[in-house]
Amino acid sequence: MSIQSHFKRQFESELWIAESLASALKQANEPEPRSLLLFSHIAAAHHNWLNRIVGETSMLKPFEERTIDEALELYRNVIANAIAFLQQTTEADFEKEIVFTSGIDGSQRSMKVGDILTHMVTHGYYHRGQIVAQLKGKLEPLPLLTHIIFTSKRLD
């Protein structure tokens, strides 16, 4: 499997997870406002990281309230753009250094495209775990949002 195919599959998984989580949030009995904010945050962070990779300067506020549908639409657009980007990359593109200003401490930093793409995926899992934990007691059953569920085939 090429690195392009690997990341394409990761972002297909991201979209499936986003769709599933949006559905769960809509079904939940009064989801926590923090859950909705985190769902929006993941989509905005994906947008900002992808824009850094492709040289776009448009950045979204990392923590901006959006409706579930607004955040999901942002997710869909970002994932479509990420997959389009991956379809035109070469192996060498994953080694390109991207310079950015850290949102944590304001320092100038650099990171390889491959590492940014990995961060996008792992960052999403980190916050979705927080959201699912906040859904306990508000939704049964809790959604199964793992890459294993997305990629594996049930045999029984």
Q: Work out the pLDDT band at 103, boundaries 50, 70, 90.
A: confident
Give the domains, in start order, of the chain with CATH numbers: 3-151 (1.20.120.450)
Decide: 112 and 94 in contact? Cβ < 8 Å: yes
Of 86, 95, 96, 79, residue with least CA distance to 19: 79
Q: What gap in Å lies between CA 86 and CA 137, rounded to an integer? A: 39
Number of H helices, E strands in the chain: 5, 2
Of 63-67, 99-103, 129-133, where does mean pLDDT reach its minimum?
99-103
Q: What gap in Å lies between CA 115 and CA 34, rounded to an integer? A: 27
Q: Is the pLDDT of residue 119 over 90?
A: yes
pLDDT in tens, 84-101: 999 999 999 999 999 999
Q: What gap in Å lies between CA 112 and CA 40, rounded to an integer? A: 25
Long-range CB pairs of 120-123 (<8 Å, 24+ gap) are 120/14, 120/45, 120/46, 120/49, 120/50, 120/82, 121/10, 121/11, 121/13, 121/14, 123/42, 123/45
Q: What percent of the chain shows pLDDT beyond 90? A: 92
**Which residue's structure tokens are 């940014």?**
116
